[in-house]
Chains A and B, each alone.
Chain A
């Protein structure tokens, strides 16, 4: 047996990896990182929207007086500010998602890859159509 060959042995504990500690505030160092975290934070406002919707359904089920109180509560400046922030974040999430769709899904038609701008355009068109239909349903009274 050669002297240069080392014997294989197992250690009981794995040696510690060398990993530099990443700051908790790493996402503040560069704009793309901050944008990523802001986009992720938008999920909190989606949960807030569900709370708002459930409060509306509860008020509707309790009668006209409860619903009038709910509508009055919606006019509170703090709630309006919260809803304005929520709308900003939810729209930011929607726009960044639609712009990302060509990377998330590759669509082929008759053997050729569909252009990115067509996929993005279709998503925006669907967004506009769905928004118009929902607004029409709510406003046709």
Chain B
């Protein structure tokens, strides 16, 4: 999921639109697009899956890379707690999007 969809999102939002390589879509169009329940469901799934993808892999990067397995509880809480908080923020923003 992350490998399939994030590169194109990041290329357009983070580089092509701000630099002006491609004309950015207008506010009205994007607002209407995000208001659609289908888009909101997609964005929520994207946030949820990406955050847990980060939490799981970052946890093992810290274990293997820095060998700090003795801080297991702190890392576990930080990673999965962060992913849960981020998912809750995404849910709040998308649920209340007007």
Interface residues of A (CB under 8 A from B): 22, 24, 27, 37, 40-41, 43-44, 46-47, 49-54, 56-58, 60-61, 64, 67-68, 71, 74-75, 79-80, 83-84, 86-87, 90-91, 93-94, 97-98, 126-127, 130-131, 134-135, 137-139, 141
Complex: how many Å from CA A124 to CA B19? 27
Chain A binding surface, main DSSP class:
helix
| Residue in B closest to A21 when the chains form the complex, CB atoms | B67
Given contacts A60-B30, A135-B12, 6 further A-B contacts (CB under 8 A): A43-B58, A53-B13, A54-B93, A74-B18, A75-B18, A79-B18
Count of chain B residues with Cβ under 8 Å from any Cβ of A? 51
Q: How far is the CB of A101 from chain B (nearest CB, A)?
A: 10
CB-defined contacts of B24 to chain A, threshold 8 Å: 71
A60 touches B6 (CB 8 A): no
Q: How far is the CB of B82 from chain A (nearest CB, A)?
A: 8
Complex: how many Å from CA A91 to CA B5? 10
Complex: how many Å from CA A123 to CA B7? 14
B22 touches A93 (CB 8 A): no
* B84 on the A face (CB < 8 A): no
Q: How far is the CB of B10 from chain A (nearest CB, A)?
A: 5
